[in-house]
Structure 1
Amino acid sequence: MARELLKGNEAIAEAAIRAGLQAYFGYPITPQTELLEWMAHRMPELGRAFVQAESELGAINMVYGAACTGARVMTSSSSPGISLMMEGLSYIAATEVPAVLVDVMRGGPGLGNIAPAQSDYNQMVHGGGHGDYHTIVLAPATIQEAIDLTVLAFDLAEKYRSIAVVLLDGSLGQMMEPAELPPMRPVRQTFPAWAATGAAGRERNVLTSIYLDPPKEEEANLRLLRRWQEIQANEVRFREYFMEDARFVVVGFGSAGRVALSAVRQARAEGIPVGLLRPISLSPFPTRQIAALCERAEAFLVVEMNAGQMLEDVRLAVNGKRPVEFYGRMGGVMPFPDEILGEIRRLAAGEASFEGHPRDRWLQRLTGSN
C-alpha cells in the first residue's frame, strides 16, 4: 500500500478500525478529539458500535462491559480524562479482559493546558488505579509507529487478556507526516471461550473483579503476576541509534526521544561518541538492556517532557554503576535539539555526577537556584 499524509489522531483511529475494532466508547477532550470524531464517522459507516458517552467515567465502564463479551474494544482520552478512568481500568485488569486505551497526553497537573507533555508516565506505567496490576504501555515516536503500535496493542491485549495502552503526546496526535495504513482485517465472528456472550447451550461464564475470600484474591493477584512475568520475558521493545561505539547514552521516549535523536546526530557530527536508546515498551521497561549498557557507557542522560518520571526507572536499571543526568521540560513546553545538545556536551566534558539526585541538579541549572 502507498504512504499518505496522515494526522496522528486520525491515523490511530483508522489503524484501530483496520485491526478489527468492533466497539469504541469515548468522550471528547483536546488534544485527542479528532480520534473520536474519526470514529464517529467511520464506525457507523462500517456497521460497528460507536458511543459518545456522557463522561470518561461512562466511557471506560462501557469498555469494561463490552470487553467482557470478547469483542475488540477501545477508548481514548487525554490526561485529565485518563485520570477519571482509573477505577474502571483497575476493574478491567482484575477481570482479566482485553481492552485498548489511547492516551494523548497534555500539560498538567490539574486541567493544565492542551499542549504536548509526557506527564502521564507514572499513572500509565506504574499502575494508576488501585491494586496490584500492570498494563502494557507502548510509546510511538512517529505516526507510522503510532499506527503499527495500535494494531499491536490489540494483539497483545488479547494474547495476555490485559490492558494495552498506546501512550503519546499531543504533538504526535496533532502532527501530520507520511505513513502507511495496514490492510483491513475482517471483524471476527467467533469469540473466546472465556467470554460472557449470553449464548445458549453452553456453560455460563462469570467474569468478576471481586474475590471476597482473601486467599482467592491472592490467587487472582498471583495469576496476574505470573502473566506479567511472561509479558516481561517476551514483549520488551526498544530502538537503538549510534550505539555501536557509544560512550554516552541518551534515553528518551516518544517525542522527547525523537528530538533527542536530532541532538545525538548533531553531537556525532562534533565527534562526541553518543548514542540513543528509545524505549518503545515503557511497560515492560527495557531494564536489562539499559543495565547491560553500564559495561561500556560512561554516563547516561534521560530526556523527558516532564519532571523526571521515566528517570526513576532508568536509575533503577543503572543501579548506581554510572552517573545519570536529567533534562526535562514541563507544562507543554517541548525541548529543542540545541538544549539537549548542550546537555550531551556536559556529559562529554566529564560533568556528569553521582552527587545528589539528577532532578535536583537539573532544577538548579534550570532555575539558577542552590
Structure 2
Amino acid sequence: MAEEVVLMKGNEAIAHAAIRCGADGYFGYPITPQSEVLETLAELKPWETTGMVVLQAESEVAAINMVYGGAGSGKMVMTSSSSPGVSLKQEGISYLAGAELPCLIVNVMRGGPGLGTIQPSQADYFQTVKGGGHGDYKLIALAPASVQEMADFVALGFELAFKYRNPAIILADGVIGQMMEKVVLPAQKPRRTEAEIIEQCPWAATGKAKDRKPNIITSLELKPEAMEINNLRFQAKYREIEENEVRFE
C-alpha cells in the first residue's frame, strides 16, 4: 500500500490523525494558535464517517469536563488548546489524573504570562512536566519536533494514556502548529466497539453488568490513610513510566 503523503499544518495533522487512529470524541474551544485543530475536524465531519463526536464547548472548562465524562466511560477522547486555555483546564486535568482516566490533551503553546501574545513560545514546559494543576500528579508528555510527529504522537499519546491510565499531553508550540510540512498520514483504524471497550477497560463506567460490582469514577477519597495509599500508588506508576517510556534525544 502506497504511503499517503500530504502537505499540511501541524494543527491539521493532529485533526487528521485523531480521526484515523479511531478516536471517539474531541471537545475543544477556539484559541490562537491552535484553532485549526477544531476547524479541521469540523470541516472533515468525522461524525458522518467514523462516528467520532466533535463538539465546540462553551468554554475550556466545559471542554475538559466533557473529556472527563467520555474518558470515564472508556472512550478515546481528547481536547486541544493553547496556553491560557490549558491553564483553565488544569483543575479538570488534575481530576482526570486523580481518577486515573486516559485521555489526550494538546497544548499548542503561545507566549505569556497572562494573556501574553499569539506568537509561538515554549514557556509552558514547567507547567507540563510538573503537573500543572493541584496535587502531586504528572502527565505523560510528548514534545513533537515536526509536523510528522504531531501526527504520529496522537496514536502514541492514546496508547500510553490507556496503558498507564493517565492523561497524556502533546506539548507543541505555535511554530509547529502553524507551519506546513509533508506528512505521512497513518492508515485509518476502526473505532473500538462497545464490547472491545468493556473488555479493554474493565474499570470504566459502561453500564452495570450482573457479573461485577459497580464501577465508580472519582478522585475523591475522604479517608486520609486511603488517600496516602493512592498517592504512593500514583508515584510508583510515574516512576514506572519514567523507567519504561522516556524516549527523548
TM-score (norm 1): 0.63
Compute the displacement of 1:45 (Å). 2.6
Structure 2: runs of 5 or more not aligned: none
Q: Report the alpha carbon displacement of residue 223 of structure 1 after superposing the two structures with TM.
A: 1.2
Matches within 5 A, 1:239-318: 239=249
Q: Distance in 2 between matches of 1:81 and 1:4?
A: 29
Shift of 1:26: 0.4
1: CA distance between counterparts of 2:239 and 2:170? 20
Report what 1:292 is aligned to.
Answer: none
The 5 Å alignment of 1:40-79 reads 40-41=42-43, 42-46=45-49, 47-79=51-83
User: For residues 48 and 117 of structure 2, what CA distance do their matches in structure 1 show?
Assistant: 33
- Normalised TM-score (structure 2): 0.93
How far 1:104 sits from its partner (Å)? 0.2
Distance 1:45 1:8 in 2: 24
Deviating more after overlay: 99-108 vs 185-194: 185-194
Within 2, Cα distance between the matches of 1:93 and 1:128? 11
What do the CA deviations read for 1:167-201 (whole angstroms, capped 9, x no partner)?
Answer: 11101101101110100111001211110012443
Q: Which has the higher contact order (CA 8 A, sep 6+)?
A: 2
- Distance in 1 of aligned mates of 2:242 and 2:30: 33
CA contact (8 A) 2:86 2:107 kept: yes
Letter in 2 for 1:111: L
Counterpart of 1:138, as a letter, is L
Q: Partners in 1 of 2:46 and 2:215 — Cα distance?
A: 28
Query: Does the CA-based 8 Å contact 2:19-2:52 persist in structure 1?
Result: no
Amino acid at match of 1:67: A
- Tell whether 2:232 aligns with 1:229: no
How many aligned positions are there? 239
**Amino acid of the residue matched to residue 27 of structure 2?**
F
Matches of 1:157 and 1:135 in 2, distance apart? 9
Q: Secondary structure at the match of 1:24?
A: strand
The alignment status of 1:179 with 2:179, answered yes or no, reads no
**Counterpart among 36, 39, 48 of residue 37 in structure 1:** 39
Which residue of structure 2 aligns with residue 112 of structure 1? 116
Deviation at 1:202, TM superposition (A): 4.0
User: CA offsets, 1:54-82, max 9 Å, x none?
Assistant: 10000001100110000000000000000
The question of whether the paired residues in 1 share the 8 Å contact of 2:104 and 2:161 is answered with yes
2:208–2:215 Cα contact (<8 Å) kept? no
Query: 1:109 and 1:202 mapped to 2: Cα distance?
Result: 51
Give 1:44 deviation, angstroms. 2.2
2:95 paired with 1:91? yes
Which residue number in structure 2 is paired with residue 294 of structure 1? none
For residues 220 and 207 of structure 1, what CA distance do their matches in structure 2 show? 14
The answer on 1:28 being equivalent to 2:30 is: yes
1:15 aligns to 2:17 (yes or no) = yes
The residue type paired with residue 8 of structure 1 is G
The alignment's C-alpha RMSD in Å is: 1.0
**2:206 aligned with 1:197:** yes
Q: Which amino acid in structure 1 is aligned with residue 47 of structure 2?
A: P
Residue matched to 1:125? 129
SS of residue paired to 1:51: strand
Identical-residue share of aligned pairs (%):
56
Structure 1 residue ranges without an equivalent (≥5) = 240-370
Q: Structure 1 residues 196-205 or 229-238, which shifts more? A: 196-205
Shift, 1:16, TM fit: 1.5
